């Protein structure tokens, strides 16, 4: 029997079987019961999202801070300043292991503290003050480095001993978009000028900020 003949025979048998079925009376067909709702699985979004929302609400705002990103930002400015000073030491034929302290004088200009000859130090200071990129990097660090130090210590104490720092909670915005390092630094600097609290002591302000850099580090 060919395949075509088999298909025709099967079709004929099916049609005959359908013709022999008694017609069902309209309206007598029993309504099919609705299938019971399947129990929610452990991954049901209705419950997972609700539980997650409750968990996020319970977490302190500071737990959402991007510490790795903050440290990378500070590290980039530090690396740039260290590399710039390394080139300056080489340019003026100074010992590459010379340790240099960078700060700002009362006039707001870059000032160097080091054991190098006075005339050479003055020339390097002039070069650095003429570099807008170097001045901006130092200005950012004068705000971000103390802030990062404060935030990092506060989070470590909270994790190790459960000690909550109310000042840190005040610094953090509910909107994560406004929790960049420079945002925190601005709020931290402003708060330290208006709030007298032991939690904010021990950190240099921008005016007195200084960095000791070893170009070989």
Residue spans of the domains in the chain: they are 64-214
Q: Assess contact for 102 and 138: CB atoms under 8 A.
A: yes
Q: What percent of the chain has pLDDT over 70?
A: 66
Give yes or no for a contact between 134 and 188, defined as CB atoms under 8 angstroms apart: no
pLDDT digits (tens, 9 = 90+) for 112-136: 998 899 999 999 999 999 999 999 9
Report residue 9: phi and psi, to 5°.
-65, -45
Q: Nearest Cα to 114, choosing from 129, 127, 103?
A: 103
Taking the C-alpha atoms of residue 83 and residue 77, their distance in angstroms, rounded to an integer, is 10
- Look at residue 60 and tell me whether its pLDDT is greater than 50: yes
Q: pLDDT-derived band of residue 155, with 50, 70 and 90 as boundaries?
A: very high
Confidence band of 55 (pLDDT split at 50, 70, 90): very low
* pLDDT over 90 percentage in the chain: 46
The torsion angles phi and psi of 76, rounded to 5 degrees, stand at -65, -45
User: How many CB atoms lie under 10 A from the CB of residue 167?
Assistant: 16
| Residues facing residue 112 across a β-bridge | 102
Per the CB < 8 A criterion, the answer to whether 70 and 151 are in contact is: yes
């Amino acid at each position: 029997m060919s395949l075509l003949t088999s298909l025709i025979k099967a079709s004929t048998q099916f049609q005959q079987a359908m013709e022999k079925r008694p017609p069902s009376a309209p309206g007598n067909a029993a309504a099919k019961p609705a299938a019971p709702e399947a129990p929610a699985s452990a991954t049901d979004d209705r419950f997972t999202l609700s539980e997650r929302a409750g968990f996020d609400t319970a977490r302190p705002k500071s737990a959402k801070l991007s510490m790795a990103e903050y440290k990378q930002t500070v590290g980039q400015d530090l690396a740039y300043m260290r590399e710039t000073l390394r080139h300056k030491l080489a340019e003026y034929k100074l010992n590459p292991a010379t340790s240099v302290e960078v700060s700002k004088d009362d006039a707001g200009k870059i000032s160097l503290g080091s054991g190098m000859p006075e005339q050479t130090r003055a020339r390097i200071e002039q070069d650095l003050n003429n570099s807008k990129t170097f001045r901006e990097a130092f200005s950012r660090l004068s705000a971000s480095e103390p802030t990062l130090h404060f935030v990092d210590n506060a989070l470590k104490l909270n994790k190790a001993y459960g000690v909550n720092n109310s000042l840190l909670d005040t610094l953090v915005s509910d909107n994560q978009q406004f929790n960049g390092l420079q945002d925190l630094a601005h709020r931290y600097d402003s708060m330290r000028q208006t709030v007298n609290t032991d939690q904010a002591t021990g950190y240099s302000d921008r005016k007195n900020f200084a960095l000791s850099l070893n170009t070989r580090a």
